[in-house]
Amino acid sequence: MSLDAVPLIPLLAWATLVGVDLVTAPQGLLSRPLVAATGAGWLAGDVEAGIRVGMVLELFALDVLPVGASRYPDYGAAAIGAAVLAAGADRWAGLGAGAALGLALAALGGWSLQLLRHANTRALSGRTAALAAGDGSAIVRLQWMALLRDIARSITLGAIAIFVAVLARPVVSDPANGHWILVAAVAVGAAAAATAGGAVRSAGRGLRLKWLMVGAVAGTCWAVLG
Amino acid sequence: MRGRLRALTRLMVLQATWNFERMQGVGIGYVAMPLLEDLAIQDPARHAEAVARSSEFFNCHPYLAGIAVGATVRAEYDGVPGAQVLRLRTALCGPLGALGDRLFWSGVVPTVMAGTCLALVQGAGLAAIVLLVVLYNGLRVATGIWSLDAGYGAGMQVSRALANSWLTRAASRINPVAGFAVGLLVPKSLAWLLAGADRSFLAIAIVVGLAGAGLAFRYPSRATSFRFGLVTLVAALLLARGIV
């Protein structure tokens, strides 16, 4: 898939919505990797690939608790890049390489979020006197400039994700490039570990842990029996 | 409550100015401004002070921030001393943050995401994602409306109103459901994602999964799932390309 074959404008628009959704507005699950990757897969013409790679990244994301000033990966644009890479590719290659690219891009996204927060802090320090005086226009200006900054961050991140995914396509398509099924198996195993480890850690020792275990047993039976 | 619709709209972009100094503070000020407009006519000096107070440091769960906005705006109209309004804001940060994180980030989000993944495994397709986004955002908007109204209705009595609200009950009830849903998801998604692969690869995934979960549980700060995923995937890529 070359850059010409990718619906660049719709994907960039989707990446912007997804990126802004993470923290700025409206935090309505668009930035969840499952949603972001399925949307990107649909735009790139392969919904199934988007769902599969989105589900792997979603398992990683279920371990993240986005509270306060904590640092966490941004899976939005990462999931879009992963879906673009996986679209139309061999199933195992798309899954394995998509997950690997998604994790790397998620780290970049998390770092960009820290940069955005520092930029917001710098912008604020120049307007503390106006805020102390109750100047409403200073609040409005700060808010709109911050929104524009996050839009710029999201577009940039989306463009990088799509560009890297398109660049990596020949590697994924080349049949000489090893056993992608091994990479896919490791990706799925690590993703399951992320969800399970995070779930056990956050469950404590109460009712949630008990129900987590019941769910795991029921899920195993369901998986084995069909 | 004049300016309610504009405040509700602004509540959706509350965190745009999230920063390390005032965290959500400026965003809260942005939401409160339309609600404080009447105060500018009644008492311009008090209005300026109220706007300044509204943008001071604040942080809580974004979905429940409307409670703090509503309560403090009501307190400003009721003529409560400024220092007391600031104390109310400070007192609300912890409970609204903890309750919202427990209800939404640890409860509702894992439940609906696991439910959607399981629906996709069963072949629901794109419709499951569309339904998820529509229903969840409906809940998001409804919570915003409720929180703003509940805060404004309670004013300085907001702590009591919060303790008697549906939030604490919902947070307690959703947590076991989230645990069950996530427990169900892990083995089922693993089997679905690797369906058709040789059993040896399924075994590799299970071994990697158990090792990762064990490490994450034993060394939660160092062996994060993200680091474990990156390291194992790089190792698998090198192995697959025959470099190792």
Cross-chain Cβ contact A139/B26 below 8 Å: yes
Quickly tell me which residue has 């549980």 as its tokens: B217
pLDDT 10s digits, B118-162: 999 999 999 999 999 999 999 999 999 999 999 999 999 999 888
Q: What mean pLDDT is predicted for residues B112-117?
A: 98
CA A175 to chain centre: 28
Q: Is the ipTM of this complex over 0.90?
A: yes
**Distance from C-alpha of A38 to C-alpha of B127, rounded to nearest angstrom:** 11
Q: Is A43 on the interface with B (CB under 8 A)?
A: no
**Distance from C-alpha of A85 to C-alpha of A87, rounded to nearest angstrom:** 6
pLDDT 10s digits, A145-154: 999 999 999 9
- Predicted confidence band at A177 (pLDDT cuts at 50, 70, 90)? low
Checking if the pLDDT of A4 tops 80, the result is no
Interface test with B, best of A24, A114, A139, A177 (most B CBs within 10 A): A139
Quickly tell me which residue has 């969800």 as its tokens: A195
Q: What is the DSSP letter of B103?
A: I
Helix axes A75-86, A47-61, angle to 10 degrees: 150
Residue B43: phi and psi, rounded to 5, are: -155, 85
pLDDT 10s digits, A49-92: 999 999 999 999 998 888 777 889 999 999 999 999 999 999 99
Q: What mean pLDDT is predicted for residues A130-157?
A: 97
Cross-chain Cβ contact B62/A189 below 8 Å: no
The minimum CA-CA distance between B43 and chain A, rounded to whole Å, is 13
Q: What's the N-to-C CA distance of chain A in angstroms? A: 35
pTM of the model: 0.95
- Predicted confidence band at A176 (pLDDT cuts at 50, 70, 90)? low
Q: What is the DSSP letter of B62?
A: G
The minimum CA-CA distance between A23 and chain B, rounded to whole Å, is 6
Q: Is A207 on the interface with B (CB under 8 A)?
A: yes
**Distance from C-alpha of B153 to C-alpha of B168, rounded to nearest angstrom:** 19
Q: Which chain A residues are within 8 Å of B234, Cβ to Cβ?
A: 100
Nearest to A97 by CA among B194, A89, A106, A47: A89
Tell me the helix, strand and coil percentages in chain B, rounded to 5.
80, 0, 20
Q: What is the mean pLDDT of chain A?
A: 93
Cross-chain Cβ contact B188/A223 below 8 Å: yes
- Predicted confidence band at A3 (pLDDT cuts at 50, 70, 90)? low
Q: What mean pLDDT is predicted for residues B79-96?
A: 95
Q: Is A202 on the interface with B (CB under 8 A)?
A: yes
